Structure 1
Amino acid sequence: MLLAVDAGNTNLVFAMVDETRTIRARWRIATDARRTADQYAVWLHQLLELEGFTRADVDAVIVATVVPRALHNLEVLSEKYFHVTPMIAGSATAPYGITLDVDEPGSVGADRALNAIAAHDRYPGDLILIDFGTATTFDVVDGDGAYKGGIIAPGINLSLDALVAAAAKLPRIAIEAPADTSVIGRTTEAQMLTGIYWGYIAMIEGLVSRLKAEIGRPVTVVATGGLATLFDQHTSAFDAIEPDLTIQGLALLAQKARP
């Protein structure tokens, strides 16, 4: 079975994926580049057992990371505790196999390339991919599966943290869908939620509209990331939601890369 590891700026996701590319289990831990392979192993060993797996069930490991400092300890984890050499997404061991049609292909994050691979495998034609992570990214993929570029905006939690940090009297609030569609808040907390939530809805709809106009062809909009379902309650901008798009991309990449 494949152990797929997606190391993002905020969280690392570990997933057990079977030969049909079905995710059998997944776990999330806060990203910390100082965490050692031994620490990962202790944590992961207990979670594997809780789901009925053992370390011996893992016969391949693939890693994608946008945090270079985290890579070494993940490689040691794979070698020392699973006895396999990990495939690294985007390297010679697991090349993307898609065209990165941008001015600086080397700067494209692994997660964005993997999202493009997975979405192109599932949906025909031109695509707009929206990933709600540490940053909110909008990526454009053409009908041939080539990555054409996109947009990077601050993530919603990052924006909220900056607002609270810069304004001494503003409280920390939870991100949630408003109870109604009114944009006139009558308390400080309601006004903050309106600004964050409906502000992001307006950004999503506005940028998707501009991207569609620039592409000039029918487009499927696919959203991923934990907050996608939250925004889907009050916008029709998304055609599909794929919560595990990056892991799906890793599974597809590993399937092509393995002998």
Structure 2
Amino acid sequence: MSAWLFDLGNTRLKFARGKVASDIGEVGSLDHHAGADFSELPDEVRGDIAWVSAVASPAVRAALLAVLGPRFARISFARTLPRCGGMQIAYAVPARLGVDRFLSLLAARSAGDAVLVCGVGTALTLDLLDASGLHRGGRIAPSPTLMRESLHARARQLPLDGGTYAEFADDTIDALASGCEGAALALIQRSRDEAARLLGAMPRLWLHGGGAPALQARIHDAESKPRLVLEGLARYAALGDASSPDLAR
């Protein structure tokens, strides 16, 4: 069976062939925006089934469906489950845990260790998974990029991007970069410290998302996992969740 995986985030679509986490093909990506039609999706992206993780708006999701519909016999959207693949989430209402966070945790379960999963996209998310597969909960905060956008929206004289990180900057643009990145780094470190207190040992730190590389450069033992949501989606697909909502063609 020919399968493709799709991770539809708030600003980017990632896609790859395959449904086995250890055998995901090359990852492609497209930036999208309001009114996106995904017309640039390569023609080779077609097959028997499309597995989709979607956190974007309904309009963007509908635009993707319009492109995938003629290309796939079946389209299946992943959904957050209370238990899956030896992993149990902390949320009492599963639908309140974003499917991208759920799939990232599902991928982290394969490590067999305690992992603090940090996603750096529009938001900065942190989720703690212990070695037994129990999700201990998490945090959501603005990412450094969103912090800069919010400051610029309120005070146009503050640059939207640019600047160099410094512990004590001597220029406004550098101070902005340092403050916004530093806030994220501080939240990550506090979360790691509290996780170590809770579990009795420091968990591994996995970073993913478009803003992850900038933070990883300042955390010496962080592990880069740029395909984490797709890997979790591949594991979800391999587990064969028969109850996930499908659109049969």
Assess same fold via TM > 0.5. yes
* Contact 1:64–1:88 under 8 Å retained in 2: yes
* Contact 2:7–2:229 under 8 Å retained in 1: yes
Q: How far is 1:129 from its partner?
A: 0.4
Q: Give aligned-pair identity as a percent.
A: 23
CA distance in structure 2 between the partners assigned to 1:258 and 1:30 by the alignment: 28
Aligned to 2:94: 105
With over 3 angstroms needed to count, the CA separation of the structure-2 counterparts of 1:170 and 1:245, relative to structure 1, is same
In structure 1, the gaps of 5 or more residues are 49-53
CA distance in structure 2 between the partners assigned to 1:171 and 1:73 by the alignment: 32
* Contact 2:116–2:204 under 8 Å retained in 1: yes
Aligned to 1:129: 117
Pair 1:243-2:226 in alignment: yes
* Contact 1:21–1:248 under 8 Å retained in 2: no
Which residue, 186, 198, 206 being the options, matches 2:170? 186
In structure 2, the gaps of 5 or more residues are 243-249
Aligned to 1:51: none
Aligned to 1:3: 4
Aligned to 2:192: 208
* Contact 1:65–1:71 under 8 Å retained in 2: yes
TM-score by length of 1: 0.80
Once the two structures are superposed, what CA deviation does each residue of 1:87-146 show, in whole Å capped at 9, x if it has no partner?
211279xx944422323222111000100111111x122221011111100001122323
Aligned to 1:257: 240
With over 3 angstroms needed to count, the CA separation of the structure-2 counterparts of 1:110 and 1:31, relative to structure 1, is farther
Pairs aligned (count): 237
* Contact 2:123–2:140 under 8 Å retained in 1: yes
TM-score by length of 2: 0.83
* Contact 1:205–1:237 under 8 Å retained in 2: no
Instruction: Tell me the amino acid that sits aligned with residue 209 of structure 2.
Output: G
Pair 1:162-2:123 in alignment: no
CA distance in structure 2 between the partners assigned to 1:149 and 1:116 by the alignment: 11
Note the 1:81-100 alignment, pairs <5 A. 81-82=71-72, 84-90=73-79, 96-97=84-85, 98-100=87-89
Instruction: Tell me the amino acid that sits aligned with residue 28 of structure 1.
Output: L
Instruction: Tell me the amino acid that sits aligned with residue 148 of structure 1.
Output: R
Q: How far is 1:229 from its partner?
A: 2.2
- Per chain length, whose mean CA-contact separation is higher, i.e. which structure has more relative contact order (CA < 8 Å, sep 6+)? 2
Which residue, 24, 27, 44 being the options, matches 2:26? 24
Once the two structures are superposed, what CA deviation does each residue of 1:217-251 show, in whole Å capped at 9, x if it has no partner?
4422211112222222222352x211110011111
Aligned to 2:14: 13
Instruction: Tell me the amino acid that sits aligned with residue 205 of structure 2.
Output: V
What SS class does the counterpart of residue 180 from structure 2 fall into?
helix
Q: How far is 1:162 from its partner?
A: 0.9
What SS class does the counterpart of residue 79 from structure 2 fall into?
coil
Q: How far is 1:73 from its partner?
A: 4.1
After superposition, the CA RMSD in angstroms is 2.6
* Contact 2:80–2:102 under 8 Å retained in 1: no
Instruction: Tell me the amino acid that sits aligned with residue 29 of structure 1.
Output: D
* Contact 2:80–2:98 under 8 Å retained in 1: no
* Contact 2:195–2:202 under 8 Å retained in 1: no
